[in-house]
Amino acid sequence: DTEVTQTPKHLVMGMTNKKSLKCEQHMGHRAMYWYKQKAKKPPELMFVYSYEKLSINESVPSRFSPECPNSSLLNLHLHALQPEDSALYLCASRGGTSGTFTYEQYFGPGTRLTVT
Amino acid sequence: QKEVEQDPGPLSVPEGAIVSLNCTYSNSAFQYFMWYRQYSRKGPELLMYTYSSGNKEDGRFTAQVDKSSKYISLFIRDSQPSDSATYLCAMSDYNQGGKLIFGQGTELSVKP
């Protein structure tokens, strides 16, 4: 089963709100990713967690705050977002278990975020 | 110049046609190659994953990698309207820390 789940499916928030996106995988993968995707563009990497530690931050503004509570869960906390942050937010996990990574990534269905 | 180039299309073909989707790349260190299919407003779905050069077949889909030309292809045989989607190529190497470098995506429409 190569499934990554994300909640919520849709989110509308005002610029002063605080909200969180959630991602879960039960494939035993030890690397998880957050991407942002705008219409007709490829996914754009935001953060990488490897063995529950933040390994890559692609210079993302601090209004996005990632968290990895355990090896199966990944959260993205949102605060004081701007309308230009409206996008599809994708979570992915990287293949491989038992300390051996492979290179393919499995994506969740995404959360469609609208900032008003 | 982008590291990965992919014709964005749109590409429109009749049902039953053979579709050829392509990407070129500039980084000779890339060794791991993927094709994703993305339906409108959905997450990308992994279609094919290949390592180094050669061919890989899965049902109606064939992925080819030619490292000498820095060129990868995805062929879809007997295309169906349900194949209408955006196809993204992605690639990585050992030193990328797990980062995928994506092409821009090709929008494919298969007409009944």
Q: Which of A91, A101, A8, A77 is nearest to A48 (CA)?
A: A91
Of B51, B100, B105, the CB nearest to A105: B100
pLDDT given for residue A99 in this prediction: 67
Of A31, A42, A106, the CB nearest to B105: A42
Interface test with B, best of A23, A102, A105, A113 (most B CBs within 10 A): A105
Question: Which residue in chain A has the smallest CA separation from B87?
Answer: A42
User: Would the pLDDT of A13 be above 90?
Assistant: yes
Burial of B53 (0-12, 13-18, 19+ CB in 10 A): middle
pLDDT given for residue B21 in this prediction: 97
| B80-101 pLDDT per residue, tens | 999 999 999 999 987 777 789 9
pLDDT given for residue A1 in this prediction: 59
Calculate mean pLDDT across residues B41-64. 94
pLDDT given for residue B97 in this prediction: 73
Q: Which of B102, B76, B91 is nearest to B11 (CA)?
A: B76
